[in-house]
Amino acid sequence: MRILLGLIIVSITIGIGWLGAEISRSALIFIVDLFQILPSPNNYGYFDYLLSHFMIYTLSSMAFAWIAIFLPMIIFKKLNIKVSWKPSIYFLFIWFALIQYKTSMMILSTNQVGSILMKVVIVIANLIGVFWILFTAYKSIDKYSIISDSENKEINEDDS
């Protein structure tokens, strides 16, 4: 039951995470554009352009994954509801891997993005953002879980 609850909640927060990523990406693009308007002693070159897009796509992907896994982990810990988060993280890893593969193929095959270097930067930024958060969530399961190790073993034995 605790595994199913985690999977259902994470399935719901995927949609909320996607919305959060779109909002954060728009906000980050606005902020980057704002800094481009301000006078600076340096010219805004191609490296700066790549770096800013790397940051935009990394941070928006991190927002997506954070909302999908950490938000429910924090809420359920505050409510003292026991959930086994490892299966949810495994599910998100597979889901994000499939989505990132599909998105990467779409980005690399389109002509709307620009140079091949920009396409590769966007793909790498998305991958780093999503999988860094999943890795961090996996490493911090004990912090956000109210289930002890002995209870976790019992849950895994009961579900088998």
Structure confidence by residue, pLDDT tens digits, 113-131? 678 888 888 899 999 999 9
The 3-state DSSP class for residue 5 equals helix
For 147, list phi and psi in degrees, rounded to 5. -100, 125
Distances in whole angstroms, Cα of residue 38 to Cα of each of 26, 108, 109: 19, 32, 34
Q: How far apart are the first and last CA of the chain?
A: 12
CA distance 58 to 127: 8
Structure tokens at 101: 């593969």
| Residue that is written with structure tokens 């941070």 in the block | 59
What is the predicted pLDDT for the residue at 42? 64
Q: Give the pTM.
A: 0.79
Q: Render pLDDT for 13-31 as a digit per residue (tens, 0 to 9).
A: 999 999 999 999 999 989 8
Q: Rounded CA gap, 62 and 81, in Å?
A: 25
More confident residue, 109 or 160: 109
Rounded to whole angstroms, the Cα distance separating 94 from 102 reads 12
Q: What is the mean pLDDT of residues 101-110?
A: 85
Tell me what pLDDT residue 64 has. 94
Query: Which pLDDT tens digit goes with each residue over 37-82?
Result: 766 666 667 777 888 889 999 999 999 999 999 999 999 888 888 8
Residue ranges per structural domain of the chain: 2-37+46-149
Whether residue 103 is predicted with pLDDT greater than 90 in this model: the reply is no
Look at residue 141 in the predicted model and tell me its pLDDT.
Answer: 85
